[in-house]
Amino acid sequence: MTAAILDGKKLAKQIRDELRDEVADFIENNAEVPTLAAILVGNDSGSEVYVRNKVTGCEQVGMQSRMYRLPAETSQDELLSLIAKLNKAKDEPVHGILVQLPLPKQIDVTRILPAVSPLKDVDGFHPENVGRLVQGKPRFLPCTPFGIQQLLVRNKIEIAGRHVVVVGRSDTVGKPMALMLMQRGLGGDATVTVCHSKTNNLPEITRQADILIVAIGQPKFITAPMVKPGAVVIDVGIHRTGKGLVGDVDFSGVSRVAGHITPVPGGVGPLTVTMLLVNTLAAARLLH
């Protein structure tokens, strides 16, 4: 058996095509262009690529983007001052604010993320937006879990009643992913188990998963013996190696066991950027 590929790149294009029409309609009715402000502190090469992809994505769907590049030695107060300015921007409206992570060591991320207005927090990281997600009343869904949920729903993969195992408990992927899939309604109603570095007998648990979502941050961590035959496997990881890009899943081995699998690259990554654009339009609508 060879797993069917869940093509995130193809789905991202489909969603962007839909979004382009929605953005055009918003501009026509509001005489204002949805605008994303992206803040990049320092010169981390990976962050540069991510921000560039987000700026390009805005252009593709008819949105505006503003790029704020700050030197690596920027102080926490300087960054907070810029965020405060963007929160209040009216003459040149900013609808969504993105602070690219990671930040330099002198800046406390736990001070920065809550400083972004919850109405402009298109990453979905503000405590108020996290709380709304817990209550099942989300304003903005975190972009990577949002993309994964869309990948499952739009490929007509049954979620309700299935056992989902999430490997990884990060605030950006693992925790919100689990919360989203256990909510009532479309894209939810799953039974969710969250595993992490302290989990005992991890292979025994991952083999129970109908849907296995892996965001552990270790290359090729999940191997074929850890996967239930026919399972849906979503690989969130991306690692640059001497042999190219690989994920958290050993694709060559697992693809012979799984029923569906995401590739790396071309799986979850393109959807993460696309859902940021979806959130930015939603933010523009909220502010009107």
Query: Number of structural domains, the chain?
Result: 2
Residues 50 and 105 in one domain: yes
Contact 41, 100 (CB under 8 A): yes
Residues 110 and 148 in one domain: no
**218: pLDDT confidence band, cut at 50, 70 and 90?**
very high
Structure tokens given for 66: 């503003």
Residues 59 and 102 in one domain: yes
Residues 194 and 264 in one domain: yes
Considering the entire predicted model, what is its pTM?
0.95
Nearest C-alpha neighbor of 255 from the set 280, 236, 278, 229: 229
Residues 197 and 80 in one domain: no
Does 2 fall in a domain? Answer: no
Distance CA 253, CA 224 (A): 5
Does 257 fall in a domain? Answer: yes
Does 4 fall in a domain? Answer: no
User: Which residues does residue 195 pair with via DSSP β-bridges, in sequence order?
Assistant: 167
Quote the percentage of the chain above a pLDDT of 70. 99
Does 148 fall in a domain? Answer: yes
Does 61 fall in a domain? Answer: yes
Q: Identify the CATH number of the domain in which residue 190 sits.
A: 3.40.50.720
Q: What average pLDDT does the segment 60-70 reach?
A: 96
Distance CA 139, CA 124 (A): 8
**Residue 145 confidence (pLDDT) above 80:** yes
* 145 membership: H or E segment, kind and range: helix 143-154
Q: Which domain holds residue 176?
A: 143-269
**Residue 121 confidence (pLDDT) above 90:** yes
**Residue 87 confidence (pLDDT) above 90:** yes
Does 222 fall in a domain? Answer: yes
Residues 260 and 151 in one domain: yes
Secondary structure of residue 179 in the 3-state scheme:
helix
Q: Identify the CATH number of the domain in which residue 69 sits.
A: 3.40.50.10860
Residues 154 and 112 in one domain: no
Does 230 fall in a domain? Answer: yes
Residues 107 and 215 in one domain: no
Does 60 fall in a domain? Answer: yes
Residues 95 and 192 in one domain: no
Residues 241 and 163 in one domain: yes
Q: Which amino acid, residue 151?
A: L
Residues 212 and 104 in one domain: no
**48: pLDDT confidence band, cut at 50, 70 and 90?**
confident
Catalytic positions, written as ranges: 54, 100, 123
The residue count for the chain = 288
What pLDDT, on a 0 to 100 scale, did the predictor assign at position 43?
85
Residues 148 and 113 in one domain: no
Q: What average pLDDT does the segment 171-184 reach?
A: 97
- Structure confidence by residue, pLDDT tens digits, 226-264: 999 999 999 999 999 998 999 999 999 999 999 999 999
Given the structure tokens 């979503």, which residue do they identify?
A: 234
